[in-house]
Amino acid sequence: MKLVVGSDHAAYELKEAIKEKLISEGHEVIDVGCDSTESVDYPKYGHAVGRAVASGEAERGIAVCGSGIGISIACNKVPGIRAALCTSVEMAEMCRRHNNANVVCMGARMISQELAFDIIDTWMTTDFEGGKHLRRINEIEDLDF
């Protein structure tokens, strides 16, 4: 799968670990930054992840910041993006099954690297159920402008 990853400085180390994991599993990874632990603003990187997915440059995206909240808001500003902040494996499963989330967001200061990896594994292997959930996603997309 072709994935895009992005983070702010607070999650730089987690992003690098995620990138290494994905590459070792044979995925193609686009890294939109940031490139160090030097302070940066998360909206730039969340928006870059969202744009890469919305444009089709990447199939899905992974965005991380300190809490996961800000970067998920930034991702969701891009029309067509359904970014879900996940703090558990169960949330990762449900955001795929019911919301067809195309970006998963996490907080490096909120969860362990091991849990982040478990969230990603679940998010990547869970299918969208469709049906009534597709109708609801279409309603959400009708709100894009």
Catalytic residue status for 65: yes
Catalytic residue status for 98: yes
Tokens, residue 5? 């990853």
Hey, is 42 helix, strand or coil?
helix
- Integer Cα distance of 124 and 135 in angstroms: 22
Summary mean pLDDT of the chain? 97
Q: What would the 3-class secondary structure string for 10-33 be?
A: HHHHHHHHHHHHHHHCCCEEEECC
Catalytic residue among 65, 75, 86, 105: 65
Q: How far is CA 71 from the centre of its chain?
A: 9
User: What are the domain boundaries of the chain?
Assistant: 2-141
Query: pLDDT tens, 7-34?
Result: 999 999 999 999 999 999 999 999 999 9
Query: pLDDT tens, 103-125?
Result: 999 999 999 999 999 999 999 99
Residue 55: pLDDT above 70? yes
Q: How confident is the model at residue 145 (pLDDT cuts 50, 70, 90)?
A: low
Q: What is the pLDDT of residue 111?
A: 98
Q: pTM here? A: 0.96
- Report domain 2-141's class: alpha beta
